[in-house]
């Protein structure tokens, strides 16, 4: 016996749509901020003629465009489920996340190749104050956008938006390299530019690891074990539920879905058992953050003569589940 709890679903759908709107808003605001950053950098490129800064500006513009596939994923995720895509289109966020991780990896490779080329063929940097100023602008703009995207991404449960925030942080590091390289050149250190470039490549690799972990966990359906504990606790507080025969949570985009099996008195009527299932769904969708739907399966208690102590033993036993990977 299973069913979808309808009483809470309208509020939850509104909440899910609002979180998608919030994600889209974060993308467009941060994209506008990156646009202003790139425009200021481009102006300084024209004034200074710095080839290094031109490369950084083009890199920032190209990487800012990764917001577009993520925006498409958020838009797709708001579409209603169909008979072909019965769980909706939330998985589009995971695809966008994979693309973002690939772009961060490409940034790391490009940064390394550029640094090695500079190491083998040193070039002097001119208009140092302008170049340093533009690098600072690039770093500040990207870091602000990174913090904004990561904050909103964590709040609405979007791993892809968090990864895109980490991606903006890598762009900030690249801009910071321009500042440090200009400082080194001012001191007469011709090796500063390529060596700092290699150091930035290492920094991007660390960010890549974090972003890849975020997206990998989501693609592999990993959830925070504390959410499972909270869901179990929520179900056990409901009068009439004798045990939990199964519980699974999964992310679909930035929304959670739950499947639970509850054990009830075998002598209950069909209507009473259904009411318990509906009650379980109601409690789950109200107590677990970002959980928008729950399917509850009802199992009859095959040992209705259990004593209170035996029931407690079952209760304690059910908490000893294997540790998550």
Residues ≥6 apart with Cβ < 8 Å to 323: 225
CB 174 within 8 A of CB 107: yes
DSSP-derived 3-state class of residue 248 = strand
Question: Structure tokens of 20?
Answer: 């998608």
CB 250 within 8 A of CB 256: yes
CATH architecture entry for 19-219: Up-down Bundle (1.20)
**Residue 242: predicted pLDDT:** 95
**Residue 307: predicted pLDDT:** 41
Q: Length of the chain, please?
A: 325
Residue 293 to residue 222: CA distance in whole angstroms: 17
Closest CA to 249 of 274, 224, 270, 272: 224
Strand partners, 297: 261
CB 19 within 8 A of CB 157: yes
Print pLDDT tens along the chain (325 aa). 444 443 444 555 567 677 888 999 999 999 899 889 988 888 887 877 666 677 778 777 877 788 889 999 999 988 889 999 999 999 999 999 999 999 888 888 887 887 788 788 777 667 788 888 888 999 999 999 999 999 999 999 999 999 999 999 988 888 888 888 788 878 888 777 778 778 878 888 888 999 999 999 999 999 999 999 999 999 999 999 999 999 999 999 889 999 999 999 999 999 999 999 999 999 999 999 889 999 999 999 977 655 443 343 333 333 334 444 4
**Residue 20: predicted pLDDT:** 84
**Residue 227: predicted pLDDT:** 95
* Residue 75 exposed, middle or buried by CB count within 10 Å (0-12, 13-18, 19+): middle
**Residue 110: predicted pLDDT:** 82
CB 20 within 8 A of CB 77: yes
Question: Structure tokens of 249?
Answer: 């949570």
**Residue 321: predicted pLDDT:** 41
CB 1 within 8 A of CB 298: yes
**Residue 125: predicted pLDDT:** 67
Enumerate the domain spans of the chain. 19-219, 225-317
Residue 163 to residue 213: CA distance in whole angstroms: 9
What phi and psi, each to the nearest 5 degrees, are found at residue 264?
-130, 170
**Residue 188: predicted pLDDT:** 81
The pairing of strands 291-300 and 243-252 is unpaired
Which strands make up the sheet holding 243-252, listed edge to edge?
243-252, 255-264, 291-300
**Residue 109: predicted pLDDT:** 86
**Does CATH place domain 225-317 in 3.30.70.1350?**
yes
**Residue 266: predicted pLDDT:** 94
Q: Euclidean distance between the first and final Cα of the chain, in Å?
A: 31
């Amino acid at each position: 016996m299973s069913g979808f709890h309808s009483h809470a679903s309208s509020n939850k759908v509104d909440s899910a749509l609002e979180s998608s709107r919030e994600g889209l808003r974060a993308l467009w605001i941060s994209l506008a901020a990156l646009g202003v950053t790139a425009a200021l950098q481009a102006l300084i490129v024209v004034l200074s003629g710095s080839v290094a800064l031109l490369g950084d500006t083009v890199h920032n513009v190209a990487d800012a465009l990764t917001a577009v596939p993520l925006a498409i994923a958020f838009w797709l995720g708001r579409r209603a489920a169909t008979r072909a895509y019965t769980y909706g289109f939330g998985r589009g966020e995971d695809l966008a996340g994979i693309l973002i991780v690939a772009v961060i990896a490409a940034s790391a490779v490009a940064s390394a190749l550029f640094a090695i080329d500079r190491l083998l063929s040193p070039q002097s940097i001119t208009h140092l104050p302008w170049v340093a100023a533009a690098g600072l602008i690039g770093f500040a703009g990207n870091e602000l956008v990174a913090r904004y995207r990561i904050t909103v991404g964590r709040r609405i449960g979007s791993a892809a938006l968090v990864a895109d925030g980490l991606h903006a942080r890598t762009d900030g590091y690249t801009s910071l390299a321009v500042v440090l390289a200009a400082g080194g050149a001012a001191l007469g250190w011709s090796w500063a530019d390529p060596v700092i470039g290699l150091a930035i490549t290492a920094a991007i690799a660390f960010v890549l690891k974090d972003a890849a972990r975020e997206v990998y966990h989501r693609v592999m359906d990993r959830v925070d074990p504390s959410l499972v504990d909270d869901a179990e606790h929520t179900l056990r507080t409901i009068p009439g539920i004798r045990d939990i025969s199964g519980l699974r949570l999964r992310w679909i985009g930035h929304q959670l879905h739950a499947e639970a099996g509850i054990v009830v008195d075998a002598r209950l009527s069909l209507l009473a058992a259904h009411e318990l299932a509906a009650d379980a769904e109601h409690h789950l969708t109200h107590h677990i953050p970002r959980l928008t739907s729950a399917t509850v399966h009802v199992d009859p208690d095959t040992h209705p003569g259990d004593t209170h102590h035996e029931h407690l033993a079952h209760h304690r036993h059910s908490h000893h589940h294997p540790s998550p990977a």
